[in-house]
Structure 1
């Protein structure tokens, strides 16, 4: 497990990006829960954000690919609009405890 940040650094309805061992990762807090995904759009394999830590649409209810405007459900990573509809972001195992937010580093070479 890799420590990402203190819990207070990821406020409700916000997102953050991290680079962990050469892998780009995004985390989002929604309704008190933290979700983590590889920072890669399934459509073209590009990073999702247009500015640092800007992964959400204007309503902060969906993850948005800045390149192709694809929209993804925060809870599952499913693309619900855009060129990759029906595909998914690659979910990553994370958990939160009194020390902060942690990410599992068990990714295959293909996932990096």
Structure 2
């Protein structure tokens, strides 16, 4: 009879079930070849160096959301473009001309 590898009493590494299964947590006493292969595969998991497609998509989505948040955080002027232009011209030092038809011109 084979001895299976088990971390829990009801669960063996090869997937077999039954009340008469003998199991142990010591790898040196395991005789089931499927359990031994499972233990070997679990110990030597390869390290991924490249991100998965799902991780790349999540990163792109997060970057896009951060960009949209930065754009909406910019202060917006409450003035219309014409009123903003008039205010800018009035703040200029000296005797600068206003656009034609806006106000009486004191000088030409």
* TM-score for the superposition, normalised by structure 1: 0.21
Which has a greater percent of helix? 2
- RCO comparison, higher one (Cα < 8 Å, 6+): 1
Which has a greater percent of strand? 1
For the pair shown, which has the larger CA radius of gyration, 1 or 2?
2
